[in-house]
Amino acid sequence: MEIRRLPADEAVVRRYIEDLWLPYNRELEGIVDSFSLAEDVDIVAKELEHRLSRHETENYQAWVAVNGSQDEGDLATTSGDFVGFVTTDIDESPTVFDRPDRLVICDIYIKKPYRSTGLSRELVERAKRRACESGCSELKLEVDVENERALVFYEKLGFEPSRHTMVATVAGN
């Protein structure tokens, strides 16, 4: 198993979306009541456009876990399977606040056959290394309250709740 940085290459990002991002979000649809993907758009095309634009920013990085790859070549054509990923972004503190810069773990996902193998920990460790390399002294993430498995996992890694996000429906919409 190797963890490789996802390049800003259209073919690689498309493979990442189809092999990992889409299954991850389909799984979230079954876990989180308030989460669903749009039905009236080409999801892969729209997400590809979004991901490529994110890759153009300096603060965003993504890594994929590849199993069975025998080559160091192009991730788009590797013989290995994409089995997990982590995406990160730097949340720089405005100078008016006395808080450190944070590395945000945007998303993390492991395909079911590879869960409980330590891969999730490896991906979080990769994010921690990026935090250190970037001068960030904190990791931050959001997790849906209905995702009990993730909540337990993150607490075991030392994450603690620091805020509550609250949502209300606006009448008339």
Residues 89-103: tens digit of each pLDDT:
998 887 888 888 889
pLDDT score of 14: 94
> Does some domain include residue 161?
no
> Does some domain include residue 165?
no
Quick check: 108 pLDDT over 90?
Answer: yes
Q: Per-residue pLDDT averaged across 11-31, rounded?
A: 91
Condensed to tens digits (0 to 9), the pLDDT of residues 42-68 reads 999 999 999 999 988 889 999 999 998
pLDDT score of 70: 66
pTM of the model: 0.86
Domain that holds residue 45: 2-156
> Does some domain include residue 169?
no
pLDDT score of 79: 82
Output the domain CATH number for residue 72. 3.40.630.30
> Does some domain include residue 162?
no
> Does some domain include residue 64?
yes
Sign (positive or negative) of CA dihedral 54, 146, 41, 23: positive
> Does some domain include residue 173?
no
Residues 6+ positions from 74 with CB-CB distance below 8 Å:
9, 11, 12
> Does some domain include residue 59?
yes
